[in-house]
Amino acid sequence: MFTRKLLMLVALVTAASAAHAQNIVGDWQGTLKLGPAELRLVLHIAKGDNGVFTATLDSIDQAANGIPVSSMSLKEAHLDFTVEAVRGSYKGRVNSEGTVIAGTWTQGEPLPLEFKRTANPIKAEHKPAKPSDIDGHWLGTLEFTGMKLRLVFHITNTADGLTATLDSPDQNANGIPVTSVTRNGAAIKMELKQIAGGFEGKIDKDLTTMEGAWTQGRGSSPLTLKRIKSTAGLSVRHPQDPVRPFPYREEDLTYQNKTQGVELAATLTIPSGKGPFTAVLLITGSGPQDRDEALLGHRPFLVLSDYLTRKGIAVLRADDRGIGKSTGNFETATTADFATDAEAGISYLKTRPEIDHHKIGLIGHSEGGVIAPMVAARNSDVAFIVMMAGSGVPGDAIIAEQLKLIEEAAGKSHEQAEKDAAEEREILALVIKEKDEAELDKKLREKLAGKVPQAQLGAAIKQVTLPWVRYFITYDPAPALTKVKCPVLAINGERDLQVPPRQNLPAIRKALEAGGNKDFEVDELPGLNHLFQTAKTGAPSEYAGIEETISPIALEKMADWILKRR
């Protein structure tokens, strides 16, 4: 899961209060750029009889409308507002004509955001109209890096023209607004600027098939959409998914990461019986993850949480910042930022009387397996950590090796996979070495010329230079591992192609030994993949088709190891 998920959803909100001076009443439209992605925002400002401004914000590409503004001030030409719900703020300056507000939105990191006055703002809602001949549900399966991902477009004709939303059933992501739908005869184009992606193709004469391609960032993949009558049955259930009623208490809650102004939405499961209980905080892998770490129809953290809680261990699991019900900006966050979110979870668990405050541990999967030792190294009150497919070498080495192994599993020759991995190393080396942004852009364009379509070149460069990528490819987990003094369980699947055990387990063992840790266990679990499923090859293309969510061998290993330290 170091390969970032396809769909990214970012939470935003905006503000209102009092001011005098320039007339800012009306509708304002702007676009927030998050790497290669874009979010269109519409700010509606009104003024009451008492002279106080009020406002709401629509986030068109997130289907979030009428978001209330919490506080606003206008002094001369300077407009400031804050968003308490997401700990965000905006500072801007209104031009002399009262037509543009140029400024900065800050939510974790500052991003430029310019609002322009408009008489015809983008509509968040549309009046119905007579259905077109392509209205309905269109299903296709996207194949990328050996994985299969189902996409469902829901097309509707309105008084304002064709509109659509997108579902990704295998990622539990539904109702994602399509930025625009353009049709010219048999040609159709659907854009999703908020994820820098979209579909373009041709509609057949029978109006039952659309042949085309999905593009996003650096990649383009063939995609055929078929008209379907119903979406019933597209959701996936697996045998290990727990079914209510549970023999333990379940509580949905929120807690604050005060250092970064993020509110994290989470679920705490507490065993039946008398506490206080040993507790674990689950830390998700890379990419936008909800509290269940939902991926390709599986919900690994829901299964893990249920198993551990039935064994008498309390479990806290949270939506990533900016994902699900958590606030904050996911797109600008790095592994170091997510580590502070984990620390906030530990602090919250210490407020609960049902929890033994001296027996709070961490279980991190994939990137979470990097974060767990990072947090334990600087927090002596972490009782133990479990690294599920955590890494022991720098991120650039992981990405290159991962690319090679996955390509070979998908059928590429060893020679071609080695060549592609070498090219990936060169690209990452450029990102690490070149500090001048203009020079880096120039060199990346030269390197990617002919390998990425010209129209996608800019988006591809932005994607590889995102803050998360820059941090991850340079971070070496070994120094933190040498500082971890609490008990450590590091496990990897034998067939993990994303965090290869032969590359990482020896490095983890070496770092723990170098630091003098006396209580650690490093194990390679036979036959398991990156998700700890029993697999044939370990290729990501197998994930969705495997009924098992987490092998009982891995579940038992973790629970028994933790209970011995209770």
**What is the average pLDDT across 388-404?**
96
Distance CA 205, CA 300 (A): 43
Q: State what percent of residues in the chain have pLDDT above 90.
A: 64
Residue 28 has pLDDT above 80, yes or no: yes
Token pair of 249, please?
């208490």
Helix H, strand E, coil C: the string for 272-326 is CCCCCEEEEEEECCCCCCCCCCCECCECHHHHHHHHHHHCCCEEEEECCCCCCCC
Stretch 326-350: mean pLDDT, rounded?
A: 94
The CA-atom distances, in angstroms, between 316 and each of 250, 346, 544 are 10, 9, 26
pLDDT in tens, 418-449: 999 999 999 999 999 998 989 998 999 999 88
User: From the CB of residue 340, how many other CB atoms can be counted at a distance below 10 Å?
Assistant: 17
Residue 109 is predicted with a pLDDT of 65
Q: Which domains does the chain have, with CATH numbers?
A: 18-117 (2.40.128.120), 136-228 (2.40.128), 248-393+477-563 (3.40.50.1820), 396-472 (no CATH)
Q: Where does the pLDDT of residue 146 fall: very low under 50, low under 70, confident under 90, or very high at 90 and above?
A: low
Looking at residues 231-236, what average pLDDT do you find?
76
Q: How far apart are CA 135 and CA 350, in angstroms?
A: 53
Per-residue pLDDT band for 7 (boundaries 50, 70, 90) equals: very low
Query: Residues 310, 247: contact at Cβ < 8 Å?
Result: yes
Element (H, E) at 511: helix 501-514
pTM for this predicted structure = 0.73
Q: Mind listing the pLDDT tens digit for each residue in 472-502?
A: 999 999 999 999 999 999 999 999 999 999 9
User: pLDDT band at 312, cuts 50/70/90?
Assistant: very high
pLDDT of residue 509: 98
